[in-house]
Structure 1
Amino acid sequence: MYGGPPVVVVGNGPVGQTAALLLARWEIPTVVVDAQERREVVGSRSICQQRETLDIWDTVGAGKAIADEGVTWRVARTYYRGHELFHVEFADSSASPFPPWVNIGQARVEQLLDERIADAPLVDVRWGTTVTGITQTEDGATVETTNGTLETPYVVACAGAHGDVARDAVGATFEGRSFGDRFLICDIRCALPDRELERRFYFDPEWNPGRQVLMHPCPDSTYRIDWQVAPGFDLDRELANGDLDRRIRQIVGASDYEVVWATVYRFHSRCATTMGRGRVLLAGDCAHLMAPFGARGLNSGVADAENAAWRIAWALHGWADPRVVDEYDGERRAAARDNLAITSRTMDFLVPQSEQGWAHRRAVLERALSDPAAQAQIDSGKLYAPFRYGDDPNPVVGALHPDHTVRAAARRTSGEFLTHDNLVVRPDGHVVGLVRD
């Protein structure tokens, strides 16, 4: 059993929580530090949790609870100026205990993961602890904080978009662009039984002309609504003069409603020039930022955490050459670049940056009213799927191998885990990792 100092996880959001819980599952202790004084339960934020993300959380005992509390939406409808262009229906997979998508607010996910951490003695959470510096040596890293110094073999930095200290530690810059367009998010509690299992996307509705609106169902009769709004939009002014009420009434009609949360934001498309070097790995928003259409931010961050955790665990237990950790950067940055390419195409369609782009969007939407073939060109957000192997004999770097059962002689290595060839598997045959020679 590993007996050295704990791994330091910077950031106690869902990505950091996942990394710590997975490391604990591999019998590796962690210290999780976060600059906030306590957990803040604010707004829905990242709401769409994908099947493989639920599967990762299930390995630490939280997947079923998250899925049970969430809303499984079955239909995605797309509209243009009041006309439904098409809809897509989602079916459960008989190969998985989880549905394709579950909507549940990030704050509630954090609470459910906190409950698992409370039962994990190998995870030490330290709130109110800001990281001020990270330096590396050949054998580990020194983490300077406002509450003292931590010596650690590895750092998993899940510090969010402002994780400059961690990015500096690996010599990374945060390349990309920011979009000037602004979006309004509201969480609305309202009884709308006709929409409780539907995602709705509206292009150019008469009540938000030239822009779009996205509507998602959430637990407790709550709906997450995103409006693209005009430059200079002022939420306080809209609240004061009644415009927000009028905006919401255009969607919910005369139904009673409650505004649970409202905020204004803009999107970014950025990727760190390296996601890991030496003893420091970047994960989640600290490594990549992307527009939320398609639900790729949190889901890809959880995949980062899973990849980092098993690699660090195998290196520290001596089950693999420590160079196995070096491969994290190539794998997860390839996945990040793929996600960013997809979300950038989405944003180019949703928010064109040129007159030519706007003309193309209008033409596609107009043709789609009568030509089903044009529907394939409409991009309201390609939904997240894990970065997978291709069909050719050469695997794509960073791909997630599809689940399958291994029925062959295997060697037990530690606890419940076994190996066969280069695969790390559970006794039920579920592949949880890959070790290269």
Structure 2
Amino acid sequence: MSETRQRHAIYSFGYRRSADQDAAVPVRHPAVIVGAGPVGLATAIDLGQRGIPVVLLDDADRIGEGSRGLCYSKRCLEILDTVGVGEEVAAKGVSWKVGKVYFHDHEVYEFDLLPEPGHKMPAFVNLQQYYLEKYLVERVDRLDNVTVRWRNRVTGLAQDGHGVTVEVDTPEGPYRLVADWLIAADGANSTVRRLMGIAFVGETFKDQFLIADIRMEADFPAVRRFWFEPPFHNGQSTLLHKQPDNVWRVDFQIGWDADPEEETKEANVRARIDRMMEGRPYELEWVSVYTFQCRRNERFVYDRVIFAGDAAHQVSPFGARGANSGIEDAHNLAWKLALVLKGEAPQTLIGSYDLERIQAADVNIRHSTRSTDFLVPKSPGDKHLRDAVLQLARKYPFARRMVNSGRLHTAAHYDSALSTPDEEKFGGSARLGDPAPDAPLVDAAGNEVWLLNALSRDFTLLHLANGAAPNVPEGISLLTIGTDLKDASGVFTQRYDATPGACYLLRPDQYLAARFRSFDRTRVESALARARGE
């Protein structure tokens, strides 16, 4: 990606010398994270909240390099809520749930990503990535056991069966430290991946998009608008999103043969935007060019080095699968690594991160590949077929399922050995291997409480009141619906197909690991052991 300019605030942080730089021998830390982007910061906070000391290394000393990541999904917002910034992101961002698809100058159809009420978080929020990073850095500053070391550049590493020795360069010279576990969250051009000689496996698509952030006063609706071959852009695709601060993101398809340096010249960028905005005044804030890439590491766990976010996998931007899947990586990893570091789970539990998040990455890559194939037909026949689908979709709902302007991100589903298969039939929208759906509940004082906010950071057993409270095994927090919290609206009962006495075991990352129509301590103990990888 080649950035050309930006006109928004940059948040700078000073370099500070650490005590490790004066140590006679390398100091050992339980967890060292490389990369202070959203994924690295979220992982650090999650681990810190679980009592694990964290050192986070970043070779820069500032955030605010363009808006970059933009769309954050409902599931991502729920995860951000667990690390203390979800409400800030939702409040600052532009909420939306409706998307509109156009072909030439005609609307084809619109879709609603969250038609049902009863969720704390919206379907999506648009927010410039630098705001998210700012909120996460401020959250880190409130944690005593998480330290960010700015302008600490990793230059080498070596690992054995017990840890990873990391070589770090700073403005005051090099030093070394040792990590029990090293998490590489240092982006698509990962230094850790390069030092380890790990290559991405996948595909780079032969097309390019020009993206521009413009600041303007406009009464356009806060919906996702995507055009196939609009008249203002010479028959290529365009996407428009609203951001906070009167900033709008525009994506223009420019083709594989376009020269990025030429395309990002201000006069050429303005010529495209002028045709689209038809004379509406605006300020150009940030411009960049990107290509579609759908690739990943062969593995995400290499002994004591774990990859997350863009350092582990890359997908095309359409569908909002990049940052959202990276935040999901963080949430999946942190509780597992915390249990292993505390000696409460076997080291093999880390292998489930590799399996589950590769499973999720492959789904994202598959969706992104299909989106790209629809956006960029590979032959005249493919284009004729795509255009026919778009024409049919104006009148026939069946064709709308075939239109692909970027399937929007949804939470990952895990077909995992950590889940206990159902022995009894359950309906509702709660699914084994999915994150628990949120629901509005009421506390003893009559205040509305959201289910996901009421869960502990450990394993939680949701129990539907039915006489005496169950005697849950150690390591599980009990939350009784009907006693601790009331399901006044009936939403919880409907979503979980809940009956008196039923119980649901939720993992620390809020995934449904097991459910039973009645409490049986032996079965719950077995489900807990399975979810811990024992």
Query: Is the pair's TM-score, using the shorter chain for normalization, greater than 0.5?
Result: yes
Matched residue SS, 2:285: strand
Matched residue SS, 2:166: strand
Matched residue SS, 1:402: coil
Of 22, 25, 29, 2:46 maps to: 22
Deviation digits for residues 271-317 of structure 1, max 9, x if unmatched? 10000022111000011000011100100001111111111100011
Of 282, 304, 311, 1:257 maps to: 282
Equivalent pair of 1:425/1:431 in contact (CA under 8 Å) = no
Deviation, structure 1 residue 421? 9.4
Distance, in Å, in 2 between the alignment partners of 1:206 and 1:62 is 41
2:210 maps to 1:184:
yes
Task: Pick closer, same or farther for the CA change 1:7–1:241 going to 2, 3 Å.
Answer: closer
2:147 maps to 1:124:
yes
Partner in structure 1 of residue 190 of structure 2: 163
Distance, in Å, in 2 between the alignment partners of 1:273 and 1:34 is 25
Matched residue SS, 1:187: strand
2:67 maps to 1:44:
yes
Of 33, 39, 42, 2:57 maps to: 33
Equivalent pair of 1:93/1:100 in contact (CA under 8 Å) = no
Q: Single out whichever of 124-133 and 101-110 deviates more from structure 2.
A: 124-133
Deviation, structure 1 residue 354? 2.7
Task: Pick closer, same or farther for the CA change 1:358–1:321 going to 2, 3 Å.
Answer: same
Equivalent pair of 1:172/1:274 in contact (CA under 8 Å) = no
Q: Single out whichever of 62-71 and 316-325 deviates more from structure 2.
A: 316-325
Equivalent pair of 1:50/1:100 in contact (CA under 8 Å) = yes
Equivalent pair of 2:264/2:289 in contact (CA under 8 Å) = no
Deviation digits for residues 391-434 of structure 1, max 9, x if unmatched? x9969xx94443477125435649x899x9975459xx986994
Deviation, structure 1 residue 133? 2.2
Deviation, structure 1 residue 232? 4.3
Whichever residue aligns with residue 19 of structure 1, its letter is T
Distance, in Å, in 2 between the alignment partners of 1:15 and 1:425 is 18
Equivalent pair of 1:324/1:435 in contact (CA under 8 Å) = yes
Partner in structure 2 of residue 245 of structure 1: 270
Equivalent pair of 1:284/1:298 in contact (CA under 8 Å) = yes
Whichever residue aligns with residue 325 of structure 1, its letter is I
Partner in structure 2 of residue 360 of structure 1: 385
Partner in structure 2 of residue 328 of structure 1: 353
Partner in structure 1 of residue 320 of structure 2: 295
Whichever residue aligns with residue 127 of structure 1, its letter is W
Matched residue SS, 1:325: helix
Distance, in Å, in 1 between the alignment partners of 2:357 and 2:347 is 17
Distance, in Å, in 2 between the alignment partners of 1:100 and 1:409 is 37
Distance, in Å, in 1 between the alignment partners of 2:339 and 2:349 is 8
**How many residues align structurally?**
426
Distance, in Å, in 1 between the alignment partners of 2:264 and 2:405 is 28
Deviation, structure 1 residue 245? 2.5
Name the % identity. 35
Distance, in Å, in 2 between the alignment partners of 1:403 and 1:201 is 29
| Matches for 1:279-318 after TM superposition, within 5 Å | 279-318=304-343
Distance, in Å, in 2 between the alignment partners of 1:258 and 1:220 is 12
Distance, in Å, in 2 between the alignment partners of 1:430 and 1:307 is 9
2:249 maps to 1:152:
no
Equivalent pair of 1:212/1:227 in contact (CA under 8 Å) = yes
Whichever residue aligns with residue 122 of structure 1, its letter is N
Equivalent pair of 2:167/2:175 in contact (CA under 8 Å) = yes
Deviation, structure 1 residue 252? 2.3
Task: Pick closer, same or farther for the CA change 1:119–1:43 going to 2, 3 Å.
Answer: same
Partner in structure 1 of residue 291 of structure 2: 266
Look at both structures and tell me which one has the larger radius of gyration over its CA atoms: 2
Matched residue SS, 2:65: coil
Partner in structure 2 of residue 338 of structure 1: 363
Q: Single out whichever of 339-348 and 243-252 deviates more from structure 2.
A: 243-252
Whichever residue aligns with residue 339 of structure 1, its letter is N
Of 130, 137, 142, 2:160 maps to: 137
Matched residue SS, 1:377: coil
Task: Pick closer, same or farther for the CA change 1:352–1:313 going to 2, 3 Å.
Answer: same
Equivalent pair of 1:7/1:31 in contact (CA under 8 Å) = yes
Matched residue SS, 2:94: coil
Task: Pick closer, same or farther for the CA change 1:209–1:361 going to 2, 3 Å.
Answer: farther
Of 81, 86, 89, 1:58 maps to: 81
Equivalent pair of 2:434/2:512 in contact (CA under 8 Å) = no
Distance, in Å, in 2 between the alignment partners of 1:378 and 1:312 is 40
Equivalent pair of 2:184/2:192 in contact (CA under 8 Å) = no
Partner in structure 1 of residue 138 of structure 2: 115
Equivalent pair of 2:164/2:304 in contact (CA under 8 Å) = yes
Q: Which ranges of structure 1 fall in alignment gaps of 5 or more residues?
A: none
Deviation, structure 1 residue 142? 1.2
2:212 maps to 1:200:
no
Task: Pick closer, same or farther for the CA change 1:412–1:193 going to 2, 3 Å.
Answer: farther
Equivalent pair of 2:29/2:55 in contact (CA under 8 Å) = no
Distance, in Å, in 1 between the alignment partners of 2:115 and 2:130 is 25
Equivalent pair of 1:403/1:431 in contact (CA under 8 Å) = no
2:472 maps to 1:410:
yes
Task: Pick closer, same or farther for the CA change 1:393–1:357 going to 2, 3 Å.
Answer: farther
Task: Pick closer, same or farther for the CA change 1:373–1:227 going to 2, 3 Å.
Answer: same
Deviation, structure 1 residue 19? 0.5
Alignment TM-score, normalising by the size of structure 2: 0.74
Whichever residue aligns with residue 132 of structure 1, its letter is T
Distance, in Å, in 2 between the alignment partners of 1:88 and 1:325 is 38
Distance, in Å, in 2 between the alignment partners of 1:275 and 1:26 is 22
Partner in structure 2 of residue 85 of structure 1: 108
Whichever residue aligns with residue 177 of structure 1, its letter is E
Deviation, structure 1 residue 366? 3.0
Q: Single out whichever of 9-18 and 255-264 deviates more from structure 2.
A: 255-264
Partner in structure 1 of residue 201 of structure 2: 175
Task: Pick closer, same or farther for the CA change 1:409–1:58 going to 2, 3 Å.
Answer: farther
Of 237, 245, 249, 1:224 maps to: 249
Distance, in Å, in 2 between the alignment partners of 1:353 and 1:148 is 51
Distance, in Å, in 2 between the alignment partners of 1:358 and 1:256 is 35
Deviation, structure 1 residue 240? 5.9
Task: Pick closer, same or farther for the CA change 1:430–1:80 going to 2, 3 Å.
Answer: closer
Distance, in Å, in 2 between the alignment partners of 1:149 and 1:6 is 15
Equivalent pair of 2:215/2:248 in contact (CA under 8 Å) = yes
Deviation digits for residues 318-377 of structure 1, max 9, x if unmatched? 111121112211111111011100100000110122333223222222333444432221
Deviation, structure 1 residue 180? 2.4
| Matches for 1:3-22 after TM superposition, within 5 Å | 5-22=29-46
Distance, in Å, in 2 between the alignment partners of 1:30 and 1:127 is 14
Equivalent pair of 1:422/1:435 in contact (CA under 8 Å) = no
RMSD value, Cα: 3.0
